[in-house]
Structure 1
């Protein structure tokens, strides 16, 4: 567990942090319509991939490698063990000079996340979780306290960008029942720890890319929270496009309450 945390921090120090608010012309590219990538993403992923393979020689499913070859993501189903890597989560924030970005990694065995790591460079904070062994922020074990039972006191995030217009309007109208809503921080590696730390009570995501959600999903579950599909099934990382819709919450009761409100006709 410690060595993987060191690999993420080392890759961040080598390839990411020196370029924060210092990206040169030509170091930001569009990899798909509306999706950007930087030289920091690509270099950090190469460093992390090489060092993870030295630690455990199994396939590495990295966000940038999958952008170039989508078939690589099928290893999540076909291989007994896979590393999942997000070299810069929150790339748009990173490019804009905002500090809300993270470097993330997970270990997936038989389709289930068994370990995860999140490094937040701007605060030098490390989160880690191991299936059945708990969740940690640096040296502090995380135990998420229950959220308020009154919807008007809940603090949430609703990510509706990728929904069709009719479902988006219904979801956003229903979400008015909650006390405090924010658009989020544009980085799962910031938002999941915020739930685990008690700063946010729930987050609804529609698009669920595996490298975004596997690390935080395990972290939150091991802290006592819930990361589940809208039918109640536990979140498991899938190749992009396989499944969408994910609600994460501080505790089971909050998950049920938020789901009931968000999905109401």
Structure 2
């Protein structure tokens, strides 16, 4: 399947410039609400998805869209993931809590999935001016610099730099990780935005991240980025992440050896 990547990137940049950045640190009363307990949505999320979704569909005739905001309103949209049509997964504003708090750690993420395999992903960080692109079999790179993402070797004997998203952990898993926390400098996330953390791991700035909840728009774009950079994203039993399955627990690392070491040292 041939897709005009430049067009996709342009559409994502345009949506961010039109619907996200003008609202950043300018949200008004009524522009933010809870869509579920502890889960925020803003008018910017909804406007960006309403504009960018049709643009992605137009760029790939015959495709269908699974956007985070539409799926949160109507979970039946997730059934499209098991259909025969190419699927766009769209997170129009990853890191909504950060965006609402006026913190620049937010992103736009999109991935194209064909017959269950992600073939293209784009992660754009508007406030940092960085766009990360991954194509299946062609590598991962940061667009403005053209730099290929390669985490490099882990330092022998050095403590791993990583974090655990604790909010959704089962109590037994949380207890094991707490007992082993002293093996790491810290397990507190630098950010809670997948669109920031996945590129940081893929480029070697951090070694790993453990997630429990595995919503596809959060993990499919970054998962392809990690894979094409030479890293690994897999369930704790080593099983491959498949977007059609609703399995919890996903360990993401910059290389297979980091993945194995992180799992061992976390004790999970």
With normalisation by structure 2, the TM-score equals 0.93
Q: Deviations over 1:178-223 (max 9, x none)?
A: 2343323010000001111211001111111110111111111101
Aligned length: 261
1:176 equivalent to 2:182? Answer yes
Gaps of 5+ in 2: none
Q: Secondary structure at the match of 2:155?
A: coil
1:24 equivalent to 2:31? Answer no
Structure 2 distance, partners of 1:192, 1:236, is 17
Q: Secondary structure at the match of 1:86?
A: strand
Shift of 1:32: 1.0
Structure 2 distance, partners of 1:258, 1:188, is 18
- For 2:142, the equivalent position in structure 1 comes to 137
Shift of 1:237: 2.1
- For 1:48, the equivalent position in structure 2 comes to 52
- For 2:209, the equivalent position in structure 1 comes to 203
Task: Supply the RMSD in Å over aligned alpha carbons.
Answer: 1.4
Gaps of 5+ in 1: none
Q: Secondary structure at the match of 2:28?
A: coil
Paired residue for 2:224, among 218, 228, 246? 218
Q: Is the CA contact (8 Å cut-off) linking 2:150 and 2:204 kept in structure 1?
A: no
Q: Deviations over 1:61-105 (max 9, x none)?
A: 000000110010121122341000000000000000000000010
Structure 2 distance, partners of 1:190, 1:112, is 22
- For 1:247, the equivalent position in structure 2 comes to 251
- For 2:69, the equivalent position in structure 1 comes to 64
Q: Is the CA contact (8 Å cut-off) linking 1:113 and 1:236 kept in structure 2?
A: no
Paired residue for 2:89, among 39, 59, 84? 84
With normalisation by structure 1, the TM-score equals 0.94
